[in-house]
Chains A and B, each alone.
Chain A
């Protein structure tokens, strides 16, 4: 794979966003419409406690991705109710066309006491081409289980044949790496499948091998099938020190599969890396691959987890 970087294409601080959000456009994910490409992302407001709430918004681009057509003026979906899994944020959303409707697989966040937060995967449904979404129930469709105790998140769903496939992440542990700092988390990529997109059977195993060490954090898988080979991009980082030390921060990882079961990880084949300087020089994260008019694109975030927006790359070969 070889990617040509097209640069940063969206900066949230240049726009007025719904829900009083001012910064962050994280985890861009697309819904290709007849006349545009709708790019959903998560942006943030601060609540009365000073903590962040993540909200979903979108930006519309022309189908050649060359022109920004507009930004969502209204709220795309509300946050969850009191005590619900998505009360304190939705980040990210994975939109998927499913006949006349659009399924939106959300990651909902709720704050806890001993650790900062937990997450589960929810389902929202849109019947207006993704302008607004309604929840399927007040609870999640994929949450903690015996072997996946917390932080079930980052769903990416595709249909192959008559099966829905979901790639997602699950937490394996919370660990204090120093006495004085808050605990950090470790999470891995897994897979589940479904006949209806609602009820899921989990494989119950980590499907992408670790590259750094057993505490490697793997996030946000995105999968595309090209010439009968499945290609997965994701991001990975060290569990500790990743916010301040660029050498421990997120990078893009790559794996391929021919059977959707066995994945061969080989980051050297990713064909993209951090830049020497600029908006994606310290970090690359939250990749999203999509196809439009015969071209394969990669959206991703750069430095500071996407505080100042996302950029685009084009597959060359």
Chain B
């Protein structure tokens, strides 16, 4: 059983004293631990356009390594421009997952485009930084992971890892658009691709995590940690209905695996739930687990899928990882 102690909200762009391009949302936190700080990449949004639609950009803040509630710096501008006319990431880059690779930093992100019969589609892009993470450039105008015969649309929620030599990309793939209360709603499931170089991917081609809510369950954000010879996945899942609020909104799920491929879901072990009141009282989701100075932390986003920013929890006991 994991037991997480909530430490509070870390960042909400609305709380900033000085004006910023960030209007609201701090979603999908992903960290790089540095010598003096913890850099948190996340996705934020300017005010919506006249059509009410948002664009989403990748941003970062630097947190004081000795006090993660002390923000040292907020990025002045997005680190990656949106894609060109007609490309997969023309209308947004969200979520993001970052990883160091030698002198470079790689950002894997879901790019968003807008469609006619359904509101949007997504595919997974790759951008690289050679200036320490200040700016990122795409490796190409197209996605690094795109649609295939059994993954027809909505490739998103990438989480990049290098565990035991290879590269792994956990992500979600759309299964169907289902008419729900008169609107098309997507259903998507967690999947895995592996690679020798982080660029050319081989998809495993099957759903990893059994449904809990039914076949309409939407799964996202598969955040994988390797600890005590086992793989541990913290992810998010939600209902197909009423998911913008507390009733059907994202919750955190948990699964573990001996081999990255075969997973046992056991949400009862997760040990974090909604707060009674406040910024994470309706939703706790998009967890990102990281190790820092002898403790395990979880960053997660709260209400409104991160509209109210993200916060931090700490694992009370490392025994939770279980015996090897």
Task: Give the interface of A toward B (CB within 8 A).
Answer: 80-85, 87-88, 110-115, 118, 120, 122-123, 136-141, 143-150, 171, 173-176, 183, 185, 198
Cα distance A114–B82 in the bound complex, in angstroms: 14
Which of chain B's residues have a CB closer than 8 A to the CB of A81? Answer: 176-177
Cα distance A110–B84 in the bound complex, in angstroms: 19
- Chain A binder among B110-118, B216-224, B274-282: B110-118
Assess A145 versus B142: contact at CB under 8 Å? Given A82-B117, A83-B174, A138-B152. yes
Q: Is the CB of A173 within 8 A of B85?
A: yes
B85, B140, B148, B184: the one contacting A137 at CB < 8 Å is B148
Which of chain B's residues have a CB closer than 8 A to the CB of A115? Answer: 85-86
Cα distance A198–B150 in the bound complex, in angstroms: 12
Cα distance A84–B174 in the bound complex, in angstroms: 10
Distance (Å) between the CB of B207 and the closest chain A CB?
Answer: 14
With contacts A83-B152, A112-B114, A113-B115 known, what are 16 further pairs, Cβ within 8 A? A82-B118, A83-B184, A85-B153, A111-B117, A112-B86, A113-B114, A114-B91, A114-B114, A137-B150, A138-B150, A144-B123, A144-B142, A144-B146, A146-B140, A150-B87, A173-B85
Assess A150 versus B152: contact at CB under 8 Å? Given A83-B186, A110-B117, A120-B147. no
Assess A111 versus B146: contact at CB under 8 Å? Given A146-B126, A171-B86. no
A84, A114, A141, A145: the one contacting B85 at CB < 8 Å is A114
Q: Is the CB of A83 within 8 A of B149?
A: no
Q: Is B151 part of the contact surface with A, judged by Cβ < 8 Å? A: yes
Q: Is the CB of A147 within 8 A of B142?
A: yes
Which of chain B's residues have a CB closer than 8 A to the CB of A88? Answer: 116-117
Interface 1/0 per residue, B3-34 and A, CB below 8 Å:
00000000000000000000000000000000
Give the interface centre of B85, B147, B148 by most chain A CB atoms within 10 Å.
B147
Q: Is the CB of A111 within 8 A of B176?
A: no
Give the interface centre of B86, B118, B199 by most chain A CB atoms within 10 Å.
B86
Q: Is B134 part of the contact surface with A, judged by Cβ < 8 Å? A: no
Q: Which of B93-142 contact A (CB under 8 A)?
A: 113-118, 121, 123, 126, 139-142
Distance (Å) between the CB of A197 and the closest chain B CB?
Answer: 12
Assess A136 versus B121: contact at CB under 8 Å? Given A82-B179, A149-B140, A174-B85. no
Which of chain B's residues have a CB closer than 8 A to the CB of A84? Answer: 152-153
Cα distance A140–B123 in the bound complex, in angstroms: 13
Q: Is B144 part of the contact surface with A, judged by Cβ < 8 Å? A: yes
Q: Is the CB of B86 within 8 A of A174?
A: yes
Cα distance A143–B121 in the bound complex, in angstroms: 14
Give the interface centre of A110, A123, A141 by most chain B CB atoms within 10 Å.
A110
Assess A87 versus B149: contact at CB under 8 Å? Given A145-B140, A146-B140. no
Distance (Å) between the CB of B54 and the closest chain A CB?
Answer: 14
Q: Is the CB of A82 within 8 A of B177?
A: yes
Q: Which of B160-185 contact A (CB under 8 A)?
A: 174, 176-177, 179, 184
Cα distance A175–B150 in the bound complex, in angstroms: 32
Distance (Å) between the CB of A179 and the closest chain B CB?
Answer: 14
Which of chain A's residues have a CB closer than 8 A to the CB of B90? Answer: 114
Q: Is the CB of A150 within 8 A of B88?
A: yes
A143, A146, A175: the one contacting B199 at CB < 8 Å is A146
Q: Is the CB of B116 within 8 A of A112?
A: yes
Chain A's closest residue to B179 (CB) is A82
- 5 of the cross-chain contacts (CB-CB < 8 Å) are A83-B117, A84-B152, A144-B146, A150-B87, A173-B86
Q: Is B143 part of the contact surface with A, judged by Cβ < 8 Å? A: yes
Cα distance A139–B203 in the bound complex, in angstroms: 14
Which of chain A's residues have a CB closer than 8 A to the CB of B143? Answer: 144-146, 149
A111, A141, A175, A183: the one contacting B149 at CB < 8 Å is A141
Cα distance A310–B283 in the bound complex, in angstroms: 59
Distance (Å) between the CB of B84 and the closest chain A CB?
Answer: 7
Which of chain A's residues have a CB closer than 8 A to the CB of B142? Answer: 144-150
Q: Is the CB of B116 within 8 A of A113?
A: yes
Which 9 pairs show the lowest CB-CB distances between chains A and B? Answer: A137-B149, A139-B152, A146-B140, A149-B142, A174-B86, A111-B116, A113-B114, A83-B177, A149-B141
Q: Is the CB of A139 within 8 A of B184?
A: no
Cα distance A146–B127 in the bound complex, in angstroms: 11
Which of chain A's residues have a CB closer than 8 A to the CB of B140? Answer: 145-147, 149
Cα distance A111–B115 in the bound complex, in angstroms: 6
Chain A's closest residue to B88 (CB) is A144
Q: Is the CB of B146 within 8 A of A185?
A: no
Which of chain A's residues have a CB closer than 8 A to the CB of B116? Answer: 88, 110-113
Which of chain B's residues have a CB closer than 8 A to the CB of A146? Answer: 126, 139-144, 199
Q: Is the CB of B115 within 8 A of A175?
A: no
Cα distance A174–B86 in the bound complex, in angstroms: 6
Which of chain B's residues have a CB closer than 8 A to the CB of A175? Answer: 85
